[in-house]
Structure formats: C-alpha cells, structure tokens
Amino acid sequence: MKTLPYKKDERGIALVISLMFVALLGMLGTAAVVITTTDIKIGNNYEASAEAFSDAAAGIEYGKAMIEAGLKADPQTFTLPTAIGDHTNPTDANSASLSSFSNPSGYGFVLEDPGLTLIYDNPNTYMYTSTGNGPNNSTSTITVTAKFKPVIDFAVFGDKQVDVGNTAGIYSYSSSSGTAPSSGTSTHEGDAGSNEEMILRNSCNVDGDVALGDDGAGTEGILRDYGGTVYGEKGEDINRVDPDPLGVVGGEYASKFTTLPGSNDNSSAIDPDGSIGSGPTIDVKGGDTLTLKGKPGGAEYYFTDVLVRNNGILYIDTTTGPVHIYVTGSFRADTGSQVINTIDNSCTDPSDPAGTAPSCGCCDTASPPNFTCTMGAPSDFAIFANSQSSTDEIIIGNSVDFSGFIYAPYIDIEMKNSADIYGALIGQRVEIVNSVEIYFDTDMKDDYITKDLVLTTWRDVKTP
C-alpha cells in the first residue's frame, strides 16, 4: 500500500490548538476571578453603604426620641429655638444643639451641627441632620424636616363618643382668608373622631373624615351610622388619639390650675354695675354683662364655675390679645344668653363713635339698636377644663354663637339646638344636637402643639 506523503505545513497543529484552548481557559478563569472580585467589592461597598445609611436613619430616630424626652422632662432639659435659623451654617446661634445627646452603643452616627433649626417663618417647622459612618470609610447623610403634632387635629374629638345629631353639620374654613364660614365654601377639613364611638344621625353632614382610634386596651372604636353624609373617609382606622395631649391632668397644663388661683387676670374683668364680681364663681344673670379683656400673650382667668343665664352677656374682648379661661367645674351658656368673642374697636355705635364703651355695648345683639361688631378669631379665645367629675359639663345653649376652642378632655360637651360654633372642640363625650353647625377654623392647627415630633420630609443627601 502506498503511503500518502506528509504535508509539511500541518505539522504541530494539534499543539497550537491545545495551547490556544489553554490560553482561552486562562482568560476565562481570569475574567471569572475579576468578575467575582468585583462583585465581592460591590457587595462589600453596598453593605457598607447600607450600614452607613441604617446608622444615619437610626440617628434621625434617636434625635427625635431625645428631643421629645427633653421637652417632656420635668424640669425640661431641652429648649427649642425660637428664631429662624440657617441650617447650612454650622455655628448658627438660632439652632438648638443636639451634640449633647450620647450615642447608644453599637451605632455610628453623628447628629450634625447646627442641630435643630427653625427654618421657616412658622412656629412649628424644624430641620436637623444625621450622618452615619459605615465600614471602609462609607458615609450616609440624611436631613429631615419635622413638625410637632398639633393638639387640634379634628374639628370635633370625643375620647369616648361623638354624637352628630339630625341635620347637624361639621364644616371648615380659614378665619384669615376673609371668606365667611359657610357650608357652601367649606374646605373639606371638618374632621371628626373618637377613640371609642362615633354616631352619625339622620341627615347630618361631616365635610371631612370620620376617624376611629381605640380605647387604649386594644378595642377598636365603632361607627354607628344612621344616615349621615361624610365627604371623606367614613370610619378611618387610626392609632389611639391621646385624649389629653396638653395635660390638664398630670401634665404640662395641670400647673395652670394650681398657680392661677393666686395669680390671674380676674381683676381685669369689667363688670359695669358691680353685680358679678371677679369670681371665682361667675354668674351672669339676665340683663347683666361681663367683659373679659385680653392682653398680649394672653390674659388668663381662673374660675371654679361659669354660668351665663338667659339674656346675660359674656364679652370676650380680644382686641389687644387672647383670652384664656381655666375652669375647674362647669361652663354653661343658657339658651338666650350670649358669649361674644369680639374685637370691640370695630364696633359702630352712633352714640359712641370713638368706640370707648367699656363693655363694648355696641355689640349687644340681644336688644335694640342691634349694632354690629367683628367676631374675634376663634384662636384668640379658649376654655380649658380639668374636672374629672361626672356632674361637671360644658353646655352651649340653643341658638348661642360661640367662637373659640373648648378643651375639656374628662367631661362632656353639649351643643344644643341651632347653636353655631366657630373653632374646635375636644371633650370626653361631645353631643352635637339637631341643627347645630360647627365651623372648624383651620388656622388653629398650629396654635397648640404636643411634644411629639412628626417627620414631614426625609432626604438622603449623599451616600458615597
């Protein structure tokens, strides 16, 4: 058999192919190592950044808790800034430093200077920053804005019950807007809430949400709807609402009821015929008038009970400042009486063009000549009651107009037929009888604030 001649140019081809295959395997191996190493580095960097971010977030929550604790301490150990500051300036004196808070063990964060800063021309908007430090020199910085939770979250709140009667209505408006309160111009913020029970009777109207908390022992509030109309959510499930956020019993405002008996503004009350006196029990009989004068920062009056009888008039003169009444018993304005929150220098009385009548008699709408006056802002008049007795209550009688804030968390509030209320109500049980109309002044939301901080915005400034 004849052997085919060997081709010279094919010698060693198998070796070349083998070497190429080995080289390819090497390249693939190198690539796999590089990819794996890169993935490990990326993973490590991510974990480090995530740890830094978690620490920054922990710093925000820790700062919030320490600010609240300092404000609630007795004596108080933290003071809020009162002047608007510049959060970009680390040495701004208009900020409250947070550097004195000792970090809990196991966390690597810094609460940055200048600390808690009042950032807007608003008494309740603040900013602060936390930086977290993770492994491999990773950092994450979070800046938040925050507000303190308002006391007045609802037009009407009753810890145990709110009963909205037939054809009654709860609406909202802004007293500073210049728009007159009306059901037709309501701003849909007339919210009502209770921790235990809401009753909506036939043809009542709530121009807002109806919210239900719980009784503190885990039992959710219930809604009894007999034909009410609700603009927003009917039966919104919320966390339990603190029934006494101002602390008229065992809290911040409790001290008012112990110091005011000896130091109050009762002597500033104007009693034209001297028949009423300055308390501590006030009984304004038919034909009598009593004027409680306000002052800058708020005049504080202390009474055990207040009774305004049929045809009696209680003037709340808020021309120069707010009026605050602290009552340890009951407050009752009978049918046919008047409780007039007024700016007396706006009165027009032909017999007193200078407006110097000491009791603002030109605002007497109970008798001719029925002169007019401008209603004072609801935020300028408040009644605080600390009674826990079942025999004490707040009653606003038939067809009585009331402009102000009633805060009586442990006793009942009753608004009788056709009364008109401008402001807000907080009570144990609030009964809104037939045809009552309540107009919540939304300008009141920041008038009274709790010491519980609520984060409103959250910004991750950098996460290298």
Q: State the burial class of residue 443 (Cβ atoms within 10 Å of its Cβ: 0-12, 13-18, 19+).
A: middle
Question: Does 236 have pLDDT greater than 80?
Answer: yes
What would the mean pLDDT of 3-16 be, rounded to a whole number?
A: 59
Residue 437's pLDDT is 96
Cα-Cα-Cα-Cα torsion 227, 230, 233, 239, nearest 10 degrees, comes to -80
54-77 in b/e form (b: 16+ CB < 10 A) is bbbbbbbebbbebbbebbbeeeee
| Positive or negative torsion for Cα 262, 263, 269, 273 | positive
Start-to-end C-alpha separation, the chain: 78
Which contacts (CB < 8 Å, 24+ apart) does range 224-227 have?
224/197, 224/198, 224/199, 224/200, 225/200, 226/199, 226/200, 226/201, 226/202, 227/200, 227/201, 227/202, 227/203
Q: Which two tokens stand for residue 405?
A: 């804030």
- pTM, two decimals, is 0.81
Residues 6+ apart with CB under 8 A from 443: 174, 175, 176, 377, 378, 379
Residues 6+ apart with CB under 8 A from 117: 81, 85, 86, 87, 92, 94, 95, 96, 126, 127, 128
CA distance 78 to 67: 7
Of 11-15, 251-255, 329-333, which has the strongest mean pLDDT?
A: 329-333
What would the mean pLDDT of 416-443 be, rounded to a whole number?
A: 96
Look at 206 and 319; give whichever has higher pLDDT.
206
* Whether the Cβ atoms of residue 375 and residue 346 lie closer than 8 Å to each other: no
CB atoms within 10 A of CB 4: 6
| Confidence bin at 365 (pLDDT 50/70/90) | very low
Look at 344 and 206; give whichever has higher pLDDT.
206
Look at 119 and 329; give whichever has higher pLDDT.
329
CA distance 34 to 39: 8
